[in-house]
Structure 1
Amino acid sequence: MAPEDTKTAEDNNTSLTKSIDKNGLSNESAYSSILDPLDQADYNHFPHLVEIFSKPESITAVPRVKGYLNAYSCALDAKMEELLAAQQAAEPSVQRVARAHTELAAIFSHIETVRERAVIAEEVITDMTADIRKLDETKRNLTMSMTMLKRLQMLTTAYEQLTIFSKNRQYKEAAQLLEAVIELSGHFKSYRSIAQIATLSRNVAELQRAIGEQVCADFEAAVDGRRPEYFAERSSELLEGCLVMDALGDSYRHRLTTWYCNVQLREYRNIFRGSDEAGSLDNIQRRYSYLKRMLKTLEPQMNQMFPQHWKVAESLCRSFCEITRDDYKVHLSRSGKTLNVDLLLKALEETMEFEQFLERRFSSIRMSSDSDLGDKGTLIFGRAISEAFEPYLGLWVESQDRKLLALVTQYSNQMMLPPSSEDETPQQVLPSSVDLFLFYRQVLAQSAKISTGAQLLNLSRIFAKYLQQYADRALASHIIEKITVELEVQTTCLIISTANYCHTTIEQLEQRIADVIDEEFKAQVDFEKEKDAFLSVASSAVQSLVRKVENDCKPAWREMLNMNWGRLYSVGDQSTYVTELIKTIEGDVKEVLKHLHKDIYIRSFCDRIVESTVNTYLPQISKCKPLTEICTEQMLLDTYVLKKSLLRLPVIVSPPDSHASTTYINVVNRVTAPLESVLKAILTGQSADLPDNLKVYLPTSNIVQRALPEKFRWGS
């Protein structure tokens, strides 16, 4: 073969190899592609053969093509075997799932079969045990019948014995048997449709009623006076009869004690009728004496007739209180507004004393009984009688209103005369204030006895009203606007001391009322406005004293303005106006402090003097002309001397080694600081040259601005 032919054959072989590789011999992706012609059922091989053997020379490549086709066939066989192996491995899992479904269906079928067999077995067992159940029910009914027959026999026997005990008045035995009869009768309530049992139940009930009536009749014979010897002969039978009444129940016991109380109080009702004179409030003490005598007489008898736990004496007193309370309500309603308040109060006080007597008497009895330990601390009678007076206590409160009006009017019209020097004491106050609070204390003590509720609250409001009037009419109205003489200074100091005393005492009064008034009214007790009123009175009086000092200092201030500041060529000693000013202030303060002894008001007075002096001094600066550097330095010296004097004001009448408090010294320094700063600012010459910190330090108030000459002022 020629070289050209050989080359052509190799090229064809290469093309064939590529074609085979392209169509699946080496590329596995062709196996999975549904568009590959080799995977189609109607595959046409002719186009591929034409492509592979496109030239005659390519015939030489047939063996090689065959080899490739065999290899491709082997690859397909291997792939098929692999897929068949995987499918065979998956078939057992499917079989197991199918087998599991089959087994599960078999299990459900078995369960249903077992259930059916269980139902059949239950029916069989029920049929087998039906006779046994019947026997159990028969046994139970037979046992119940035997029990009921036995109880019926016991009831019949007890009924017969109880009838005998009742006729023979053997109450102790009857009481024990009666409890058993009542308990046995309760078992036959559901069997009363049976004629014999219904008859027996009626007989038992009739016997209970009869024996209760018999015991009551025995008490009537002993107590009512028809058979007075009965009590002496058979008092023990009466006590045993109470055991029968206990067995019969509370209703029988209550009936007997109510009857006994009514019998004993029959005479009391007749004597103290509300319409008779004996039933009036004037004879209220006779009522209480009557009961005390009755208790003393009847107590031995009651102890012999009644058990202690019946508390017959207590019931007797309760009935007495109810009758007396009702009588008072009728009497008071008839009297209405014409009721004498003093008589009402006297009757109420005696009533409350009597209630306290009953409380003490029966509380001690209860505390001695173990069965009543739980009653400790509780009131037995409370306001059993006095509650009848409660609606009319407003009359008493109104009477206190009228009395206080008269007192305050009297106090406001009294001359405000301070005590003489020999009677003067450091804590001297107006006698009227002491008398007023003494009256308050007495009325409050009286009110606390008769009412601690709404009426006490109303009384506290009346107290507050007249405290306000006392502050306005008896104190504030006597403050002197322009004090000129020492007597007026004494009077003003007396007002301050009195206002302070009233303020302190009001706090004690408020606390006392809060301590005794009922809890629901505590929050409504309020005297804040009245305390503020007395503080205001004291403040106004202190200000009146300050005005006196201000008026007395006016000549010194005029002297300051009249000084020829233009001829002042050097700084010397303190100015004459400062000497006069200090002399006047110290003299007035000494005069006031002789009569003012409360530190808080001394301090307030001195604080106001300092403020007033500085506030007057500041405007004076700009009025002094010409204000040269020498003049300013002289004023700084005067300010220092004045400040030194002001620091001594609170202790000016004290020993020389005394010192004012640190707080007061700080106040003086704070108040005088603007004055000193203004003078130092003027010394700088121009406002523009003032240090920034000085501008910040100086107050920007109008009074300080006016103190500076116009050229030294800055924004308002």
Structure 2
Amino acid sequence: MDSNDVDDKDSGPEVQLNFPASVMSRIEELMGGTEQFDSDEFDAVSYINRVFPTEQSLSGVETAAARCEFRLAAVQHDIRRLVRAQHDQRIAGHEALLEAQKCISELALQVTDINKKAERSESMVRKITSEIKQLDCAKWNLTAAITALNHLHMLAGGAASLRALATSRQYKELVLPLQAIMEVLEHLECYREIRELNALREEVHAIRADLAAQILQDFKQAFTGAAAGAVSARTLGDACGALDALQPRARTDLLAWLVRLQLQEYEHLFSAEQEQAWLSHVSRRYAWLKKHLLSFEQTLANVFPAHWRLSERIAYQFCKVTRDSLTSLMAARRSELDCKLLLYAIQQTHNFELLLHKRFIGTEPNTETLEASGGVKEISFDDENETPEQTEGQNTNSSPWLGLIGSCFEPHLSLYIQSLDTNLRSLMDRFIQEAKTMELSEVSETGSGAGGVLASCADLFLFYKKCLAQCARLSTGEPMIELAGVFQKYLREYARNVLHSCVPHAHTHAHAHTLTVPALVTNLHTFLNDATHRYTKQEIAKITSVITTSEYCLETTVHLEEKLKEKVSPALANKIDLGPEQDLFHKMISTCIQLLVQDLELACDPALQAMTKISWLHFDTVGDQSSYITQIIMHLKNTVPVLRDNLASSRKYFTQFCIRFANSFIPKFIQNIYKCKPISTVGSEQLLLDTHMLKTALLELPSIGSEVKRQAPTTYTKVVIKLMTKAEMILKLVMAPLDNNLEGFVGQFLQLLPESTIAEFHKVLDMKGAKLSKTQLSALDALFKETSKSNNEISK
């Protein structure tokens, strides 16, 4: 064994310890640097010279040698010990391996023995179970044979007894044997290849067919034969039980015959040749069925089982016959139809269908009604409880009875739509006449002030609501599309002939009632351009009334469109579009607001003209605000509070008015500032003061003259500040000196007015009274364009 093997066996897990350099040097010093001996570059001479550098140190040579010999002896002892231990371990391992191989051999022998025993056990179990399976199969075959024989015996004996019972009309005693025989036939379905069994099966089917025919004949004899009543009611009742045990076809044939028999008299009395078959006598049809069902239930209802629901079947067939009869009658006598007669027939039919629904389904209609509230109120098309008929419709939406007869009237509902058109035409004529003679006191007030919604508007949409509810009960198909067209027609009519005629001076445009929608919009814009005088308070009240009414019409029209789409069949919903009418009301509101803006601007025009006539060059002192500003503020205080009160219910449109006025008036004020030339520095200061006072007044415009001070809308405030700041910057530029520093002035101009044009630059120079030659002006223009271009590039 070499020394490498010893080292390998003796080595354990290596643990690396890292000590500081000072510690390591001290250890080497104590150990005599033994780690060096392991190095391949170890030089013994150098080591000895390092350990014994002087002659005096040689005195310790013997001690060092003794120490080395002792260390060497210890190492040799360890090597011998490890070699002996390694030898002993190899011998013990070999013995353990031999012992394990011996155990494995013994275990293999035991496993082989177990497998042989298992195979023998399996063979024995297989032999035992094969005999049991044979016994089970024999038992199953024997049981099946006995059961089949019993079924065959029952079938053979039952067929004979069944025929005997049928011949003697013992229907009650026949039911149970018949059910038993039918169950037996089901069990014997797997033996169809046996000829004798097939013969018995065919015999049973023949008995059943004969029995069904016999029962039908008994009923015919009992109800229509010469010896009517020869078959007792008890026998007929038993026969009904026997029919339930037969195939469903037999019962269906009998029920169809019975229903036709019950309606023979009805079909004769109300045939097309009879006068009472016409719509004017439709209630007689329904009275006949009520009377007939009452008589039938009192005399014959006990004969038939309750689950047959014979009364319901008679009523259902009655509805189908009536629908077909009325359909053919109305097609043949269409010229005699009118709306009043059609609505009478529809109402009578609807009431009758509700009665059938209540009788055969049991839904009690809810007849809750809402009391009508006075005054102008929001017309909600979601309110379906306005009338009892609407409430009943809610509770019976899914009833099979509703519309069973009434569907025949749907192709003729155009008469109803035409009638609504006629009624709306007369209603609209009344509205137009009222609008022409309308005074301020006749405006329906929704708030505390004038300018409320016109009463005619609420009346129109209330009529629309009733029409929609009634038509939705009659049909959800094409008639609803026709109704939507009528609604659109009169919404446009109301806008152009009622609302337009309420606007002051609208009567000056001839033939207003013949205007189309585009022509109406053009007419309104022309009307804007024709405004040459101020409106009175009454005329302003009319304009604001048109605004609030148009807003009401707009919001209700949106709701009306949603309700129409909800009521109509889903396949037709995309055909309903009231968008053009909504746009028309939008334009009406916008035009009226613009009229009010022009009216206020017209009031302020004299003051603006007075501003341009002041000699701003000769001002020597700055005083209070000028008289023209006082006049403008006075007009604002006189006009805006009236508009605010009139538009109290339409606050957003009052805000629109303020914004439009600011966007229109302030640019006009700026244009008049440009006309104030030449102007001195003191005059510029005075004009700047006036501008600041006007800005303050405009910022307070929404609440001017009001005891309650509200903060102006942010949108409006931004508009005023932006435009009035431009006016102030113009005046500050006019006050800025040139001092032969034209380039600096151009830079200052573009800094204060970055969005200005070169034309505005020239206007400011004119206001300053600058005397520039053409060369200087051209150089300034070039500098303006260059500076403006560079500023734009920097901003980008």
Q: Does 1:549 align with 2:605?
A: no
- Partner in structure 2 of residue 269 of structure 1: 267
**Which of 404, 410, 413 is equivalent to 1:390?**
410
Instruction: Give the Å deviation of 1:511.
Output: 3.4
TM-score by length of 2: 0.66
Instruction: Give the Å deviation of 1:334.
Output: 1.4
- Partner in structure 2 of residue 571 of structure 1: 622
Per-residue CA deviation, residues 667-715 of structure 1 (Å, 9 max, x unaligned), is 4223322222222232223574359687356362569668634579855
Identity of matched residues, %: 32
Q: Does 1:472 align with 2:503?
A: no
Most deviating of 497-506 and 292-301:
292-301
- Partner in structure 2 of residue 83 of structure 1: none
- The 1:474–1:685 alpha-carbon spacing in structure 2 relative to 1, beyond 3 Å, is farther
- Partner in structure 2 of residue 507 of structure 1: 558
CA distance in 1, matches of 2:579, 2:548: 19
- The 1:590–1:283 alpha-carbon spacing in structure 2 relative to 1, beyond 3 Å, is same
Instruction: Give the Å deviation of 1:195.
Output: 6.4
Most deviating of 438-447 and 391-400:
391-400
- The 1:418–1:683 alpha-carbon spacing in structure 2 relative to 1, beyond 3 Å, is farther
- Partner in structure 2 of residue 20 of structure 1: none
Alignment of 1:543-622 (within 5 A): 543-597=594-648, 598-622=650-674
Q: Does 1:637 align with 2:678?
A: no
CA distance in 2, matches of 1:420, 1:534: 22
Instruction: Give the Å deviation of 1:398.
Output: 3.8
Q: Does 1:293 align with 2:317?
A: no
Per-residue CA deviation, residues 230-260 of structure 1 (Å, 9 max, x unaligned), is 68xx434333322211111211111111111
CA distance in 1, matches of 2:415, 2:442: 45
CA distance in 1, matches of 2:398, 2:247: 26
Q: Secondary structure at the match of 1:655?
A: coil
CA distance in 2, matches of 1:585, 1:202: 107
- Partner in structure 1 of residue 534 of structure 2: 484
Per-residue CA deviation, residues 108-148 of structure 1 (Å, 9 max, x unaligned), is xxxxxxxxxxxxxxxxxxxxxxxx99999999888766554
CA contact (8 A) 1:417 1:491 kept: no
Instruction: Give the Å deviation of 1:327.
Output: 0.4
**Which of 727, 731, 742 is equivalent to 1:675?**
727
CA contact (8 A) 1:618 1:675 kept: yes
Letter paired with 2:732: K
Q: Secondary structure at the match of 1:364?
A: coil
Q: Does 1:436 align with 2:460?
A: yes
Long gaps (5+) in structure 1: 1-131, 367-375
Q: Does 1:526 align with 2:577?
A: yes
Instruction: Give the Å deviation of 1:263.
Output: 1.2
**Which of 475, 478, 481 is equivalent to 1:457?**
481
CA contact (8 A) 1:619 1:704 kept: no
- Partner in structure 2 of residue 177 of structure 1: 177
CA distance in 2, matches of 1:343, 1:228: 43
Alignment of 1:341-352 (within 5 A): 341-352=339-350
Q: Secondary structure at the match of 1:573?
A: coil
Long gaps (5+) in structure 2: 1-131, 365-395, 506-526, 771-779, 789-796
CA distance in 1, matches of 2:761, 2:251: 97
CA contact (8 A) 1:678 1:704 kept: no
CA contact (8 A) 2:444 2:455 kept: no
CA contact (8 A) 2:159 2:204 kept: yes
- The 1:198–1:384 alpha-carbon spacing in structure 2 relative to 1, beyond 3 Å, is same
Most deviating of 407-416 and 589-598:
407-416
CA contact (8 A) 2:320 2:404 kept: yes
- The 1:424–1:704 alpha-carbon spacing in structure 2 relative to 1, beyond 3 Å, is farther
- The 1:319–1:495 alpha-carbon spacing in structure 2 relative to 1, beyond 3 Å, is same
Most deviating of 519-528 and 310-319:
519-528
CA distance in 2, matches of 1:424, 1:410: 16
- The 1:390–1:559 alpha-carbon spacing in structure 2 relative to 1, beyond 3 Å, is same
CA distance in 1, matches of 2:582, 2:761: 39
CA distance in 2, matches of 1:496, 1:655: 25
Most deviating of 435-444 and 301-310:
301-310
Letter paired with 2:182: I
**Which of 515, 519, 539 is equivalent to 2:590?**
539
Instruction: Give the Å deviation of 1:543.
Output: 0.5
CA distance in 1, matches of 2:427, 2:633: 45
Per-residue CA deviation, residues 375-433 of structure 1 (Å, 9 max, x unaligned), is x9953334211221222223323443444455445544554455445976344222332
CA distance in 2, matches of 1:424, 1:142: 99
RMSD across aligned positions (CA): 3.7
Letter paired with 1:708: V
**Which of 755, 760, 765 is equivalent to 1:700?**
755
CA contact (8 A) 1:496 1:541 kept: yes
- Partner in structure 2 of residue 282 of structure 1: 280
- Partner in structure 1 of residue 547 of structure 2: 496
Q: Secondary structure at the match of 2:333?
A: helix
CA distance in 1, matches of 2:712, 2:140: 105
Per-residue CA deviation, residues 434-462 of structure 1 (Å, 9 max, x unaligned), is 22212211111111111123322332233
- Partner in structure 2 of residue 255 of structure 1: 253
CA distance in 1, matches of 2:743, 2:348: 88
Per-residue CA deviation, residues 464-519 of structure 1 (Å, 9 max, x unaligned), is 23323322333246534325341322221221121111112213323333443334
CA distance in 1, matches of 2:440, 2:567: 40
CA distance in 2, matches of 1:439, 1:431: 13
Instruction: Give the Å deviation of 1:616.
Output: 0.8
Most deviating of 611-620 and 424-433:
424-433
- Partner in structure 2 of residue 353 of structure 1: 351
Q: Secondary structure at the match of 1:700?
A: coil
Per-residue CA deviation, residues 534-571 of structure 1 (Å, 9 max, x unaligned), is 12101101101111112222211221111122221121
Aligned residues: 580
CA distance in 2, matches of 1:585, 1:705: 31
- The 1:317–1:656 alpha-carbon spacing in structure 2 relative to 1, beyond 3 Å, is closer
- The 1:508–1:653 alpha-carbon spacing in structure 2 relative to 1, beyond 3 Å, is farther
- The 1:258–1:692 alpha-carbon spacing in structure 2 relative to 1, beyond 3 Å, is farther
CA contact (8 A) 2:663 2:719 kept: no
- The 1:577–1:224 alpha-carbon spacing in structure 2 relative to 1, beyond 3 Å, is same
Q: Secondary structure at the match of 1:708?
A: helix
- Partner in structure 1 of residue 156 of structure 2: 156
